[in-house]
Amino acid sequence: MSRKVWTAAFVLYLCCSINSFGQVNSGGTDEPPLHIDVPTKLERANVAIDFGHAVFAGDMPFALGDIRLLADDIHDWGAKGQIVVIFHGDAAYLILNDESYNKNRHVTTGNPYREILSGLLKQGVQLELCGATAKGNGWGNTNLLPGVKVNLNAMVRLTQLEQNGYTMIYQ
């Protein structure tokens, strides 16, 4: 089967699954409401995310959903602190601008994650690229999405953040 047929079948499956799930829960049948046994709310959250591997749920890097959820929670709680995401390794291309993304990924679509990353920046999430990864790929600052910062290298930066009391999350 062609990729389009598989994609259409997958989308249809998702729609049916979501519809079925919604009917079970909205109908109030046998499914009890979810009870949170361990409620959490942070007043302060300094978090460093080591984003070195691109793991996908469909076409979406799984970590981007996690990062957005964390940023939304921190915003909703009014917590103080900072989220710093360090892109390196095989996840680094996610922060390339459209032209560089196209060249690197051999596509003509532009960076499909641009809007999500822009939204994270607007929420105050700091996005950083490992300088060693950038050098290894021949990327300069002009190859990056606006707002992305470059650090010396991921390992040194993550060590620095941990020594400064940041909670480490590995994606």
> How do residues 70-118 score in pLDDT, each as one tens digit?
999 999 999 999 999 999 999 999 999 999 999 999 999 999 999 999 9
Domain residue ranges in the chain: 1-35, 44-170
DSSP string for residues in the chain: --HHHHHHHHHHHHHHHHHHHHHHHHTTSSPPPP--SS----SEEEEEEEE-S--EETTEEHHHHHHHHHHHHHHHHT-EEEEEEEE-GGGGGGGB-HHHHHHHHT-SS--TTHHHHHHHHHTT-EEEEEHHHHHHHT--GGGBPTT-EEES-HHHHHHHHHHTTPEEEE-
pLDDT at 89: 97
pLDDT at 28: 52
Strand partners, 48: 84, 168
Q: If you classify domain 44-170 with CATH, what class do you get?
A: alpha beta
Residues of the chain with pLDDT under 50: 1-27
Q: How far apart are CA 101 and CA 93, in angstroms?
A: 7
The CA–CA distances, whole Å, from 127 to 7, 54, 67, 134, 160 equal 31, 15, 11, 14, 16
pLDDT at 48: 98
